[in-house]
Amino acid sequence: MSAATDSTTFKSSWVEGLVSSYSRLVAPVPDAHGVLSARSPEQGRVSVVIGGGCGHYPAFAGLVGPGLADAAVVGEVFTSPSAEQVYRTARAVDGGAGVLFSFGNYAGDVMHFGLAARRLAAEGVDSRTVLVTDDVASGSAQEIEARRGVAGGFFVFKIAAAAAARGYDLDGVARVAARANAMTRTFGAAFDGCTLPGQQEPLFTVPEGTMELGLGIHGEAGLRRVPAQDPAGLADVLVDTLLPELPAGATGRTAVLLNGLGQTPYEDLFICYGRVHRRLADAGLTPHRPEVGEFVTSLDMAGLSLSLLVLDDELADLYDEPCQTPAFTSAPAAADAVPEPRRAPRPGAAAGTAPRTADTPAAGGGAAAEALAAALAAVEAHEQELGRLDAVAGDGDHGQGIVRGLRAAVAAARGADPGDTADATGRALLLAGTALADAAGGASGALYGLLLTEIGGGLLEAGPVPVTAELLAPAVDAAFHAVCELGGGAVGEKTMLDALAPFRDTLLTHARAGTPLAAAWADAAAAATSAARATADMPAKRGRAARLGERGQGHADPGATSLALMATAVAGVLDGRSPTPADPVPESR
């Protein structure tokens, strides 16, 4: 949330944007802070009105449209809408068959919706209210009705609206909505708090390396703080908490909602869901139309929640009802009949061999494999630091990318014929370079991949002779030119070229002097290391980094740093000693 956001106009501004972008589905309530379905009211049909404070999009206004809510009343951030707003919104969508109100169990909402219901009754408009109480963290199982409503409200709204669409009367809609709520349980975790519009500080923070279990959706901290888990580990915590909470005798089909709270990557949600799916299956539950995404957020909170709705036949049938809203569309049931996915053969299964990965290296590959393995160990030890350097001006992925690439390179080199001659080393480097570029991706993946294949190509031509500085230096020189050409870069632009150039120069000098390879390489690696350090004082001239101007200064270039690390590690191998070089990673100033 940007502190520049104007809190006084926040609500009206975003609602205006919502109704103008999705005018095919929703319209503003003419005289209230509310959003109504473009198809409502429908005469003779029950209307479903949801709502609450804003800051939770898609709840509630994003869940309005044909097949889902008829209208949503929009309060200020995390604040109940007023009775007047609820009343006006309900009047706007009433089709004469009554109004079903559903919203989270919070005192302000209960009071304002309650007042509106009384006023409507006095005017002859019938209404029922179903409170959402799905959050297991907010009260004991003995007093379920005291619990607050969180992401599971989506199930309740969806089922109520489906019943209304099918022509259930008001009591019928209220009955299935209440049943959906009674069968729904939610538990969540927060990794970081959220910041109100116009504020500088988050409502709460979660210390690095920890997470809060059992959070609320209004910046309430959780039940307890535990060490942070990866998304799959978190799946176990959520499932283990919810299973004993499920309504008694629960077996069979279960609607599942894995909800992101606003700042959690969808990829993490899917990783978590994959584990949830297996765990539910192990517990004898069949996920029915699982949904993974954002349904009830808390502004920019980082975290997620898991909601389970134990279905009976009627609830399952209603849950399948198609709908279309700005945030959520559910296709007709016919679209469910997708063919069983074909199972891909397991890699290596046909040949009866395990696939070769960096974790299961084959022996062999000779000097090239040994050198690359040492380079890998060096960048692995500095993966975080390389990522941090890349994050100064880039996207922070350099450490991960180069480690991934070198793992593949080592595996590929180990698969080559063993041997320390120039041609054997060349062949291994050709394989390694191709594998590195494929696995690492990114600019550095392409450039390092090319560097290896070019050196490999140069050595291969030399045939079955020992690798010497005289042989290697021209191959490195050619590789340097190829990397310049591919990247369109030049020395002095704060890239890996600034480390590669002095490395190449030193090697060429020693080659001319007839220095033995190990000594020549060690000197070249030292030159690369001091040049990499010196990139800290250079202004960036390429890409995004260049636009940062001075900001990047004081930090070494990640590519130059990784190149120096690798060269130093290889020097250790060539010297025939275990690599204990001086740490060439420059301190960030």
We find the least distance from the C-beta atom of residue 68 to ligand ADP, in angstroms, to be: 41
- Token look-up 């706007």 returns 92
The two beta strands, 34-37 and 26-28, are antiparallel
**Nearer residue to Mg ion within complex by CB, 163 or 499:** 499
Does 395 help bind Mg ion (rule: CB under 5 A)? yes
382 binds, among Mg ion, ligand ADP, none (CB under 5 to 8 A by kind): none
Q: Please list every residue from 242 through 301 that binds Mg ion, using CB under 5 A.
A: none
> Considering only residues 58, 67, 197, 559, which one is a binding residue for ligand ADP as defined by CB under 6 A?
559
We find the least distance from the C-beta atom of residue 357 to ligand ADP, in angstroms, to be: 21
Q: Which residues 6+ apart lie within 8 Å of 253 measured at CB?
A: 285, 286, 288, 310, 311, 316
> Considering only residues 560, 569, 571, 573, which one is a binding residue for ligand ADP as defined by CB under 6 A?
560
| Of 37-45, 50-58, 213-221, 492-500: span binding ligand ADP (CB under 6 A) | 492-500
Q: What is the CA radius of gyration of the chain?
A: 31
Q: Which of 33, 56, 112, 218 is catalytic?
A: 218
**Nearer residue to ligand ADP within complex by CB, 393 or 422:** 393
Does 442 help bind ligand ADP (rule: CB under 6 A)? yes
Structure token pair of residue 245? 């909470």
| Of 26-34, 98-106, 387-395, 574-582: span binding ligand ADP (CB under 6 A) | 387-395
Does 394 help bind ligand ADP (rule: CB under 6 A)? yes
Burial class (CB in 10 A: 0-12, 13-18, 19+), 80: buried
Q: For residues 49-75, b (16+ Cβ closer than 10 Å) or e, as one string?
A: bbbbbbbbbbbbbbbbbbbbbbbbbbb
Q: What is the DSSP letter of 135?
A: B
Does 443 help bind ligand ADP (rule: CB under 6 A)? yes
241 binds, among ligand ADP, Mg ion, none (CB under 5 to 8 A by kind): none
Q: Please list every residue from 397 through 426 that binds Mg ion, using CB under 5 A.
A: 397-398
Q: Based on the residue annotation, tell me whether 218 is a catalytic residue of this protein.
A: yes
Burial class (CB in 10 A: 0-12, 13-18, 19+), 90: buried
152 binds, among ligand ADP, Mg ion, none (CB under 5 to 8 A by kind): none
Does 397 help bind ligand ADP (rule: CB under 6 A)? yes
Q: Which residues 6+ apart lie within 8 Å of 501 measured at CB?
A: 480, 491, 531
Burial class (CB in 10 A: 0-12, 13-18, 19+), 18: buried
Return the sign of the alpha-carbon dihedral for residues 164, 169, 172, 174.
positive
Q: Which residues 6+ apart lie within 8 Å of 575 measured at CB?
A: 518, 522
**Nearer residue to ligand ADP within complex by CB, 177 or 437:** 437
Tell me which residue has its CB nearest to ligand ADP. Answer: 559
Q: Please list every residue from 509 through 548 that binds ligand ADP, using CB under 6 A.
A: 542
Q: Which residues 6+ apart lie within 8 Å of 109 measured at CB?
A: 51, 52, 80, 81, 103
The two beta strands, 47-54 and 71-77, are parallel
Does 444 help bind ligand ADP (rule: CB under 6 A)? yes
Does 567 help bind ligand ADP (rule: CB under 6 A)? no
Residues found near Mg ion in the complex (CB under 5 A): 390, 394-395, 397-398
Which amino acids are annotated catalytic?
A: 218
Residues found near ligand ADP in the complex (CB under 6 A): 390, 394-395, 397-398, 401, 442-444, 447, 487-489, 495-497, 542, 557-560
